[in-house]
Amino acid sequence: MKKHLLAACIAAVLPMTEVSAAPVRQTIDVSVTVPAVTFYVKPQLGWPQSPIQLTYDPIAKSFDTYKLALQVKDTGKNITAELAFDPILTEDNSSQTLALAVSIAGRKLGQTPVPIHTMDPNEKVYQLEITSEDNAPKVGNYLGSVSLVFDEQDPPPPKS
């Protein structure tokens, strides 16, 4: 009888040890930029790690301007900047949008390269500015991205 009881106990425990949980999967987005040897564009205090906050003043009907100092250097070519896509914020619960204005050194950026630094072996500092020119936005919480693209460009040939 003890053998049957022991066998029943073992049989009752075995199925519980064979049950397994579903695997846990997690995706982590990773981005790496390997800079060129001949040029760089980097912020003096690092890129923002969380969404920047633009404050809207309903009395003045204007947005503040986010500013970031960029260190720029190029030893062989000019440096251009452009936007990978239009910087438009979208409201959480609707289809309302808010367009941003982005500039470097006072030059407004779009999806066409704009020269921001001429060939110069000396490092220079330029101001990146992000704001919205909309003076009557709809109430809401907006979120979006500004995607900057920096590249080298050959200087124009000398005039003869």
pLDDT digit string, tens, across residues 103-146? 999 999 999 999 999 877 788 999 999 999 888 888 888 989 99
Closest CA to 153 of 120, 124, 113: 113
The answer regarding whether domain 39-153 maps to CATH 3.40.640.10 reads no
Sign of torsion, CA 103 106 109 115? negative
Give the bridge partners for 97, in sequence order: 90
pLDDT at 89 over 80: yes
Whole-prediction pTM value?
0.73
pLDDT at residue 83, rounded to an integer: 94
Instruction: Report how far residue 98's alpha carbon sits from residue 133's, in angstroms, rounded to the nearest whole number.
Output: 9
Overall average pLDDT of the 84-97 stretch: 89
Q: What does the block give as tokens for 95?
A: 């289809």
